[in-house]
Amino acid sequence: MVKVHTLGNSRRFNDNAPEYYPTACCEILHVSHAVYAASSLQVFLNVIRELSTRLIFICTVFQIIFTIVVACLYYTLESRNFLNAIEVFRPAVVFIGLVNLIGIFCALIGVLLEREIFVQIQITFLCGLVVICDAIAFCLVFTMAMGKKLTLTEKLPKYLVNGDEFEKILGPFWLYICAILLHMTAASTMCILGINRRYTMYIQQKVAYSQLQTEQPTTITVNREESFIKI
């Protein structure tokens, strides 16, 4: 309802009346300016909606780069004698790399074909990667905390890696630093995992909407019989 302020017999329109400052804009913008702001916000949301379907491609590119970086890092550590138990690290790194590449390939197929099952495979692999990173980070912190109190935590690091080489670069707390890096890797993987899950929700809703659009209405014919009452 528009308020009209009267002064004697004349009627005057108040352009700055409170009702022309919508609460959605915190009553700061006038409606004539709020329309522009709302339109700009709508365009921005539409752009974000379009980009959300392409974010999984960006995440896939980041995963490929991450796999290449891990492979180069492992090659550098092995060639410079940072690792002692090569027979343990090499099969583990190859296995994780193959699983990661299979997950990336499934994610690309899932996006191109818009099939949820392929993206779910990638989600499963990413969840496993998060668990592995956090488990190794916990073991590193536990090993650093226990030190020489246990025989296992005293001899296992020396069997697996060359601690002196790591200490020259990262300092005496290199185990903690490696644990933090692994946890950061798990956290970044969780971000990619969230995008993949959001994309599966997008596919589910799109398929459900498509099914609603293609459903044919069913026609029910009811035969009515006339009844006569004889008196």
Task: List, for residues 144-156, the tens digit of each pLDDT value.
Answer: 888 778 888 888 8
59/127 same-domain check: yes
65/103 same-domain check: yes
Q: Is residue 218 part of a domain?
A: no
Does the pTM of the predicted model rise above 0.75? no
CA 113 to chain centroid, in Å, comes to 20
Q: Please, are residues 82 and 88 in contact by the beta-carbon 8 Å criterion?
A: no
Residues of the chain with pLDDT under 50: 1-10, 219-220, 222, 224-231
The overall average pLDDT reported for the chain is 77
Q: Please, are residues 71 and 201 in contact by the beta-carbon 8 Å criterion?
A: no
For 1, the 3-state DSSP assignment is: coil
68/139 same-domain check: yes
Q: Please, are residues 143 and 159 in contact by the beta-carbon 8 Å criterion?
A: no
Q: Is residue 165 part of a domain?
A: yes
For 7, the 3-state DSSP assignment is: strand
CA distance 110 to 200: 9
Where are the alpha helices (H) located in the chain, listed in sequence order?
A: 31-52, 55-79, 86-113, 116-146, 151-160, 163-170, 174-214
- Domain count across the chain: 2
5 phi/psi in degrees, rounded to 5 = -90, 125
93/13 same-domain check: no
Q: Cα dist. 130→92, 106, 127, 160, 216 in Å? A: 15, 18, 5, 22, 45
pLDDT tens track for 170-201: 888 888 999 999 999 899 888 888 888 888 88
Q: Is residue 225 part of a domain?
A: no
31/117 same-domain check: no
Q: Is residue 173 part of a domain?
A: yes
DSSP state for residue 83 in the 8-state scheme: B
Which residues form the domain of 79?
A: 53-203
Predicted confidence at residue 53, as pLDDT, reads 59
19/65 same-domain check: no
